[in-house]
Amino acid sequence: MQAVDLSLAVSYVPAALCFLRLLVYLVGVTCLRPGEEIGGLLILANALYLDRLSFSFLKFNTIFDSSAVLLSVFISHVYLFIRNASTDGSMSFIGIIVNLWWALCCLVLILEPSRMRQWAEERGRIFELAPPAIMAISLISLSGVHAEREDTLSRFARSISFALLSVAWVYVVAIKKKLPPDQSNHFISRFSPVLYLPSYVCGIFAFLAAGGVGYQYYALYAAEQEALPVTAPVQAVQEEGEPDMEEMFRMARQSKQN
């Protein structure tokens, strides 16, 4: 990723466009009536595909892949629709364990302890492959579990929270670490539990994830301060002593005698 000057307002245009498009999409989802989900979701899928093509063609995804945020929200709605249609039992003890395990793993990935990062970097690309693998395992494990339909407010809250956390991660962590803008799995895999966890766990996870992003900001800021060159202490200027009055009188007398 190229250096991004966050002091310029134009640097935040991709984030603003991401939220604007997300609101338009959420309004479209809200307009779907029961029984119209399949046709409506297919239409929205085509619209999101055209949106992604246009943004890629116009090179609006230079800072981060904002289309990935919309696609992640769309996939979560399709996944929820499939679980709504499932006739299996509700959340079991195993499902609760999977949700808690998934949330805990994502929180650890958000914090990125130095020892864990060092261990993963020594083993190649495991640090990049672990988040999507954890996400895939969790979604497959919960795919057969029945889920109740959510109201519009919960759907909006999940989607906006996911977008806020993703954008904050990009502008706080990805830009500082110069991560490639096309690797959207860096934020999707870490914050996707917001879109899928039960409502009684989602709020707690979102709050802890926001704290993790704040911790990352503090850690990167502290590292930048330590990397700054140490300026040499300014040497105190020695003050000149008071003039010798006797010497001045002696020189004055000699000038008169001459």
Q: What is the pLDDT of residues 105-162, one digit of tens each?
A: 999 888 887 777 777 667 666 767 888 888 998 888 888 777 778 888 988 999 999 9
Q: Is residue 21 part of a domain?
A: yes
Residue 244 confidence (pLDDT) above 60: no
**C-alpha closest to that of 78 among 10, 139, 31, 122:** 139
Q: Is residue 236 part of a domain?
A: no
Q: Is residue 233 part of a domain?
A: no
pTM: 0.80
Q: Is residue 251 part of a domain?
A: no
Q: Is residue 137 part of a domain?
A: yes
Average pLDDT on 233-253 reads 54
Q: Is residue 211 part of a domain?
A: yes
Give residue 235's pLDDT: 46
Q: Is residue 114 part of a domain?
A: yes
Q: Which residues of 98-127 are buried (b: 16+ CB within 10 A; e: fewer)?
A: bbeebbebbbebbbbeeeeeeebeeeeeeb
Q: How many domains does the chain have?
A: 1
Range of the domain at 212: 9-227
Q: Is residue 208 part of a domain?
A: yes
